[in-house]
Amino acid sequence: MKGPRSGPQRVPRYEVTVQGRGIALPIEDAVAIGFLRLVQLRASDPVEAEIRAVELVRSDWASSAYAVRNLGAAPHLTISRIGSLHWWHRLLGAPRGYMFFSEDGIQVPSSRS
């Protein structure tokens, strides 16, 4: 009688869109009140992916130059979207950085920090 296959199991990859609100970040001639950040990671399930993505964004934000310039509160982080990544996403590379938006929802150009 054969047992289940005993090989390395593949851990799924996810792309999680984390939204941050509650900041007041002066950028050029505007003030960003929020941001979106795309995070790609491996996790055993979608819930673990969400938790790890929020922890990663919180940590990255706290150590960024943006956090130093922020005149508002620490961002309140929520999940906007989560999806499974297919193998070919590895070829495209993971997105980097923050996409900031103003109170009217218009994207604010981010200066590199």
In a domain, 54, yes or no: yes
In a domain, 1, yes or no: no
In a domain, 101, yes or no: yes
pLDDT in tens, the chain (113 residues): 444 555 457 888 999 999 999 999 999 889 999 999 999 999 999 999 999 999 999 999 999 999 999 999 999 999 999 888 876 666 666 678 899 999 988 888 876 55
The boundaries of the domain holding residue 67 are 13-108
Chain CA centroid to CA 86, Å: 18
How far apart CA 67 and CA 60 sit, in angstroms, is 9
In a domain, 78, yes or no: yes
Answer whether 0.85 is exceeded by the pTM.
no
In a domain, 2, yes or no: no
| Counted domains in the chain | 1
